[in-house]
A and B are shown apart, each in its own frame.
Chain A
């Protein structure tokens, strides 16, 4: 017997006038997985989430949660709970009442509520916080209370609407790890929406990249990163150097891209690309290798280019350089290796860079 998916959407659509916020989406989320919907603002991800939660009714299509059709089912009857963007903890109640709210609404006995709230707060590492006021909590603690408040109801699905957006960077990094640990500990299916690719990649088992109301690609974070299927995914997930040009030569999967400025690079085609077709090629900053001497690259069998450094972008482990290819003056961003080999690079210096054509992807545009 195959396990039934916890969330199954079939041709779900929502229009606002002529604007298609969500355009005939079909997907399913396996039980116990962490599924993220990643997209820029205005891509329809919030609309989709609100349809799953029941705050919006789809214009067409079906949403099945835990195998049950949810059409016409109001939010308070769905086996789904939501962690809101600004958490929406009830400031008029203490932490215990916040967590116990849903149980009280279900008519659970007082002693039972007390016991389960206590257990839940222990599981989110806030034991004994029942009497605290919401405004006495730190950002991270509020987050845990918001999750506890939903999970105490043992929902089939937990929806999270960019809950980390309001936190500062340091706390956000910390909460990412905590969220992942919580999900693993509870085993509840999480559906997480975000515009932050790092959150989606770090947290998820599967990520759907959404744009203009459609999913561009659904896959594991690794698949999205290493094998993007569309130019949008290649540009949105991770950093990328984008080169627009035409496919001047096609040789099986490998082709040669010539840009309008005269840059000629080899790349691996994704999907069918005909000779002479307009294409977009992507080279990741960390795929390219720098060398002071072009011979190093030539020996490694890599196609290589000379370039002049225009800017040094020091950011610890994420340091990179901006350089312009000598002939075409095309700008590239290239990651600096952590070996310290290039710590003494200066602006204006000429270096060589090269990359494995198999790791540069190219799409017909």
Chain B
């Protein structure tokens, strides 16, 4: 009986294990080996840290690296600030049909692929696009303005893509907040701001952190949105990785960059958890 139960468990876990080992662990081991070797002659490789040395020595690489991290943090913060009122409305104010309607409205953009959505932004924002033409016809600008290829454009695209992933954990965190806690705080003399700070945010903290982790990781690893909306100026670190792998065919360098990005996201998520005093397991349970 016992062996049978164990076999059953193993069979049930098999797909997950295959996925984990085959698609995540093995490629990373392979990439790890790749990143730690150097080509000294055709088809001759030696173990070395040269790839990482290049990263440190070449300002473009680590500038891009830092810039990607900062932009991702900014995008995450903006997403949080924009998603919070939306989640509050859906969780606490809307009732019945309105509630599901609002939620579906958050979901609808995701029925379209990210490429199409991003191209939609390009149609709106490019020099010959809808928005510049509208500004000209309203007399705001004398000639059409190029709205693509700015940092702000990248942020708009990233925030738009990430909203849902912030809204969902926030809704579940806010829905579990007992309304009478807010009323009690109000009754005892609290005002809107102090209740938000002392009651709502501490209660929703795991949801906020979960949403921020998901959005930050998606943003940091995003390739399409920065490339299409930022063009050549975007300088996103995933583009560097792409270039190394595909254009330069320098897999060793690409693998090293990949590991650097992994290290970066891990470090920032860890710092975020430390700063907010949350525990990873608890946060993931809530999201």
Shortest distance between the CB of A155 and any CB in chain B (Å): 10
Shortest distance between the CB of A127 and any CB in chain B (Å): 22
Q: Which of B28-36, B43-51, B123-131, B189-197 sits within the interface?
A: B189-197
Chain A residue numbers with a CB within 8 Å of B203 are 91-92
B244-285 CB contacts (< 8 Å) to partner A = none
A101–B188 contact, CB under 8 A? yes
Shortest distance between the CB of B93 and any CB in chain A (Å): 15
B167-210 CB contacts (< 8 Å) to partner A = 178, 180-181, 183-191, 194, 198-199, 202-203
Chain A residue numbers with a CB within 8 Å of B185 are 90, 101
Q: At the interface, yes or no: A102 with Cβ under 8 Å from chain B?
A: yes
With an 8 Å Cβ cutoff, the count of chain A residues facing the other chain is 24
Total A-B Cβ pairs within 8 A: 59
Q: At the interface, yes or no: A150 with Cβ under 8 Å from chain B?
A: yes
Q: At the interface, yes or no: A153 with Cβ under 8 Å from chain B?
A: yes
Given A84-B180, A88-B180, A88-B181, A105 contacting B190 (CB threshold 8 A): yes
Chain B residue numbers with a CB within 8 Å of A289 are none
**Distance, CA A102 to CA B191, complexed state (A):** 11
Given A90-B199, A92-B203, A105-B194, A84 contacting B186 (CB threshold 8 A): no
Q: Which of A75-83, A118-126, A202-210, A355-363 sits within the interface?
A: A75-83
**Distance, CA A84 to CA B203, complexed state (A):** 19
**Distance, CA A149 to CA B190, complexed state (A):** 13
A84's partner among B183, B191, B198 (CB-CB below 8 A) is B183
**Distance, CA A150 to CA B194, complexed state (A):** 18
B189–A106 contact, CB under 8 A? yes
B186-241 CB contacts (< 8 Å) to partner A = 186-191, 194, 198-199, 202-203
A153–B184 contact, CB under 8 A? no
Chain B residue numbers with a CB within 8 Å of A53 are 187
With an 8 Å Cβ cutoff, the count of chain B residues facing the other chain is 17
The CB with the most chain B CB atoms within 10 A, among A54, A80, A85, A92, is that of: A92
A150–B199 contact, CB under 8 A? no
Shortest distance between the CB of B190 and any CB in chain A (Å): 5
Annotate A243-269 by CB proximity to B: 1 below 8 A, 0 otherwise. Answer: 000000000000000000000000000
Chain A residue numbers with a CB within 8 Å of B181 are 88, 90
A105–B189 contact, CB under 8 A? yes
Q: At the interface, yes or no: A86 with Cβ under 8 Å from chain B?
A: yes
Chain B residue numbers with a CB within 8 Å of A101 are 185, 188-190, 198
Annotate A64-102 by CB proximity to B: 1 below 8 A, 0 otherwise. Answer: 000000000011100011101110101111000000011
B188–A153 contact, CB under 8 A? yes
B202–A76 contact, CB under 8 A? no
Interface of chain B, helix or strand or loop or mixed? helix
**Distance, CA A53 to CA B189, complexed state (A):** 12
Chain B residue numbers with a CB within 8 Å of A93 are 198
Q: At the interface, yes or no: A55 with Cβ under 8 Å from chain B?
A: yes
Shortest distance between the CB of A78 and any CB in chain B (Å): 8
A153–B178 contact, CB under 8 A? no
A81–B188 contact, CB under 8 A? yes
A75–B187 contact, CB under 8 A? yes
B186's partner among A75, A86, A150, A153 (CB-CB below 8 A) is A75
A102's partner among B180, B189, B199, B202 (CB-CB below 8 A) is B189
A82's partner among B178, B187, B199 (CB-CB below 8 A) is B187
Shortest distance between the CB of B41 and any CB in chain A (Å): 63
**Distance, CA A62 to CA B145, complexed state (A):** 60
A86–B178 contact, CB under 8 A? yes
CB-CB nearest in chain B for A83? B184
**Distance, CA A293 to CA B198, complexed state (A):** 72
Chain B residue numbers with a CB within 8 Å of A91 are 203
Shortest distance between the CB of B113 and any CB in chain A (Å): 41
Interface residues of A (CB under 8 A from B): 53-55, 74-76, 80-82, 84-86, 88, 90-93, 101-102, 105-106, 149-150, 153
Known: A84-B180, A88-B180, A92-B203. 8 other contacts (CB 8 A): A76-B186, A76-B190, A82-B184, A84-B184, A88-B184, A92-B199, A105-B194, A153-B189
Listed A/B pairs (23) with beta-carbon separation below 8 Å? A75-B186, A75-B187, A76-B190, A81-B187, A82-B184, A84-B180, A84-B183, A85-B180, A86-B180, A88-B178, A88-B180, A88-B183, A90-B181, A90-B198, A90-B199, A91-B203, A92-B198, A93-B198, A101-B198, A102-B188, A102-B189, A105-B188, A105-B194
Q: List the 10 closest pairs (A to B, CB-CB), nearest first.
A: A105-B189, A88-B184, A102-B188, A92-B202, A88-B180, A84-B180, A76-B189, A75-B187, A102-B189, A82-B187
